[in-house]
Amino acid sequence: MRASWYDQFSDSPDALSSSRLERMVVPVLDLEIGGEDFITMAGPCSVESEFQLMATAIHVRRAGAKILRGGAFKPRSSPYAFQGHGLEGLRMLAHAREETGLAIVTEVMSEIDVPLVAEYADILQIGTRNMENYALLEAAARSGRPILLKRGMVATIADFLRSAQIILDCGNPNVLLCERGIRTFETALRNTFDAAAIALLKQISHLPVIGDPSHAAGHRELVPALARISIAAGADGIIVEVHPNPDKAWSDGEQSLDFAGFDTMMHELKPWLALRDQAGASEPEQMEAAR
Ligand code: PEP
Ligand code: MN
pLDDT, mean of residues 213-221: 98
Residue 200 has pLDDT above 70, yes or no: yes
Residue 35 has pLDDT above 70, yes or no: yes
- Measured from the Cα of 128, ligand 1's closest atom is 8
Mean pLDDT of the chain: 95
Looking at the domain that runs over 23-275, which CATH code has it been given?
3.20.20.70
Q: At 152, is the pLDDT very low, low, confident or very high (cuts 50, 70, 90)?
A: very high
Kindly give the distance from the C-alpha atom of residue 160 to the centroid of ligand 2, in angstroms, as a whole number.
Answer: 20
**Nearest CA residue ID for atom 6, ligand 1:** 127
Kindly give the distance from the C-alpha atom of residue 278 to the centroid of ligand 1, in angstroms, as a whole number.
Answer: 32
pLDDT of residue 166: 98
Alpha carbon distances (Å) from 145 to 182, 220, 221: 26, 30, 33
Q: At 41, is the pLDDT very low, low, confident or very high (cuts 50, 70, 90)?
A: very high
Reported as a single tens digit per residue, the pLDDT across 81-139 is 999 999 999 999 999 999 999 999 999 999 999 999 999 999 999 999 999 999 999 99
pLDDT of residue 5: 86
Residue 282 has pLDDT above 70, yes or no: no
Kindly give the distance from the C-alpha atom of residue 112 to the centroid of ligand 2, in angstroms, as a whole number.
Answer: 22
Reported as a single tens digit per residue, the pLDDT across 160-173 is 999 999 999 999 99
Residue 283 has pLDDT above 70, yes or no: no
